Chain A
Amino acid sequence: MVYEIVLTTDRTMMSNHHGKEFLGFLATGPAIGVPEKLWLWLAAPKMKVDELGRPKEAPYGMRKVEAKLIDAGFKAAIIDPDYLDKHLDTMKVLMIGHHDFFAYGPPSSEWWSLTGKEPVNRISFKRFMESPVVRKAKERGVRIIVGGPAAWQWLWELELWRKWGVDTVIDGEVERVIVDLVEKALNNEPLPDYIYVGPRDSPSIEEIPVIKGASVNGLVEIMRGCPRGCKFCSVTLRPLRYIPLDIIKKEIRVNLRAGVKGVILHSEDVLLYGANGVKPKPEPLLKLHDMVVKEIGENSDLAWAHASLAAIKYAEEEYGLISKIMNEYVLNDHRRFLGVEVGIETGSPRLAKIIMPAKSAPYPPEKWPEVVEDAFRIMHENNIIPAATLILGLPEEKPEDVVKTAELLDRLRPYRSVIVPMFFVPMGALKKNKWFLRDHITREHIEVMYKCFEHTIYWAEDIINKFYLKEPYLFPVRMGLKLFLKYAKRRVRNITKHMEIFVKA
């Protein structure tokens, strides 16, 4: 098969992370305490490919672009970065996607700021762009188009943009434009340097294609957009669209046929699927989960990408919906927990009201700490293990806000979870604000970061021992992770003896 359009990315993205999505986050950090090769193997091992270098699984967003191009009649395929040379003679357009090209996203920028070391995702991506095959492709006149949620990062790396000869950077949902852009690239027409697809040009449901190849760890989207309007978020800027059940089923079947047995339901808030505004409704969620578990069977993994704490609390208190979903659909001898990412962001009602007034809805922002704690309790009682984030350095943040966050962390200690603090990165409605960097860390921030660390280390050991990476073939990964946790514990406790060096404000 001759491919004139090749879609690819670097290893940290072109990986299924040992079948454990969360391990991919290791790629956002620098290699600490272990050689870089080992760190990369832990975070992003190579995947199986076929004789043409097509990977069994690929990032979901790239699968959407691939599908759109194939539906339009182009010879397009996602190719593993180690196999690009097989297509050097035929490719005319090279399309590269990424979540975090240059490690400016959270949490990469935070780990970089704290350690002074480049995260491995940045190192890997730069190495990929400098690789002989990509350089040769450019020399031969191949046009390079880059995109994905981190497209904005190219604005901060203009010299590299120029050096690598990237023709077009495109930011936003591309379904309505990508076919035309690629056609123009193939016809050697002049291309724009930069495209931002505004919310009004987001695709309708009918314009979003069904993936043709399997997605990493079975991720499938169930909706796009979010109605909460948090100022730090870029996704909330997009219109809300629910993917119909039959389309979700089709994509799950694409994954199952490729041998990818698990499902990650992707949404910014899974519990708002088919919701009434910000209030979850039982019927659409029960139908969704009923369909999903029927498709994947008893012995496959299931996870939610994200859920909001307010929706968790509301769903359980109004309908007993969380325990119903977990007991009647999710939990069994194989599936002993459900993983999900959640946003705490801040423990301060004052700050919550300013930057995310609808995050707690339908509860008032004054009740935000109670909403967080109640949702954590509900998740703990129902074997849902959240990976939670909070944001330090938000615009308008005051020291007393950070103190409130520290107090909330104390209240969350009894609940099984990992909590990761992130430094504020200007995105969404706040994207013209300044970055929060290491030079702005205060004592209050240090206290919050230390509490997060202690909480996460305690529960991470519990999670690994009881729930995670239990498969025999993952024993080396388990051991690697346990070693890293031991090392991290020792290292951080040493560093906190010298806290002053971090406090500049």
Chain B
Amino acid sequence: MISRLKVLEEENVDIIIGLPDTEQVYESFSIHLFQYINNVARSTGKRRFTLHIVSIKPKPLYTEELRQFIQSNIAYTIVIRYYGHDLEKIKEYVEELKKNNPHVYGFVYHDFKELSNLLRSLDLEVEEV
């Protein structure tokens, strides 16, 4: 059973984020994520986003990849949860998320094919960047 915050994770959008798998930080990833979130907000009318992070970088070091996105956001409520790199667990979580929320999407770094393929197999719309 996934733990969800009352209020901040109600009427929200869940996005599975596959981060780049390298030491280097790609600023463009954050920039694209920000644009993507704006687009999703426009199309869904939602203002709350839970980002489910899939990354080999440990917590919270992975947030360096998201820092520019976080700093750019002033409008939306953002909740960031971390799942490591266990794709079996991710599959379970996504199936659980989908039961309760029609707005579940994927936003994945282009090299992270394993995750993109998994999310697509679960019928998620996936944006690759």
Contact = CB atoms under 8 A, between A and B. Distances in A.
B61 A432 contact: no
B81 interface: yes
B102 interface: no
B32 interface: no
Contacts of B79: 192, 194-195
A200 interface: yes
Interface in A411-437: 426, 428-429, 431-432
Contacts of A432: 68, 71-72
B47 to A, nearest CB: 5
Interface in B48-77: 48, 50, 58-61, 63-64, 67-68, 70-77
Interface in B105-128: none
Contacts of A429: 74
B77 A196 contact: yes
B63 A197 contact: no
Given A155-B67, A162-B59, A193-B80, A184 B3 contact: yes
Contacts of B82: 193
A180 B5 contact: yes
A479 interface: no
A237 B77 CA distance: 13
Interface in A142-181: 152, 154-156, 158-159, 161-162, 166, 169, 172, 176-177, 180-181
Q: How large is the interface on A (under 10, 10 to 19, 20 to 34, 35 or more residues)?
A: 35 or more
Contacts of A192: 5, 50, 79-81
A195 B50 CA distance: 9
Contacts of A180: 5-7
A195 B80 contact: yes
Query: Among the interface residues B60, B63, B82, which one has the most CB atoms of the partner chain A within 10 A?
Result: B60
A192 B3 CA distance: 9
Contacts of A176: 7-8
A105 to B, nearest CB: 15
A78 B28 CA distance: 42
B74 A237 contact: yes
A431 B77 contact: no
A183 to B, nearest CB: 9
Nearest to A188: B3
B48 A201 contact: yes
A162 B64 CA distance: 12
Contacts of B63: 155, 158, 193-194
A189 interface: yes
Given A158-B60, A176-B7, A177-B8, A196 B71 contact: no
Contacts of A190: 3, 81
B78 interface: yes
Given A152-B71, A432-B71, A194 B78 contact: yes
Interface in A126-141: none
A181 B72 contact: no
Contact of A177 (B5, B60, B64, B67): B5
A198 B81 contact: no
Given A180-B7, A181-B5, A184-B5, A197 B77 contact: yes
A155 B5 contact: no
Given A158-B64, A431-B72, A198 B5 contact: no
A199 interface: yes
Interface of A: 152, 154-156, 158-159, 161-162, 166, 169, 172, 176-177, 180-181, 184, 189-201, 234, 237, 426, 428-429, 431-432
Given A190-B3, A197-B77, 18 more contacts: A162-B59, A162-B61, A172-B77, A177-B6, A189-B3, A192-B50, A192-B79, A194-B63, A195-B5, A195-B78, A197-B8, A198-B48, A198-B78, A199-B75, A200-B77, A426-B71, A429-B74, A431-B74
30 contacts: A155-B71, A158-B63, A159-B61, A161-B60, A162-B58, A162-B59, A176-B8, A184-B3, A184-B5, A192-B80, A192-B81, A193-B80, A194-B60, A194-B79, A194-B80, A195-B8, A195-B78, A195-B79, A195-B80, A197-B77, A198-B48, A198-B73, A198-B74, A198-B75, A198-B77, A199-B74, A200-B77, A201-B7, A431-B72, A432-B68
Interface of B: 3, 5-8, 47-48, 50, 58-61, 63-64, 67-68, 70-82
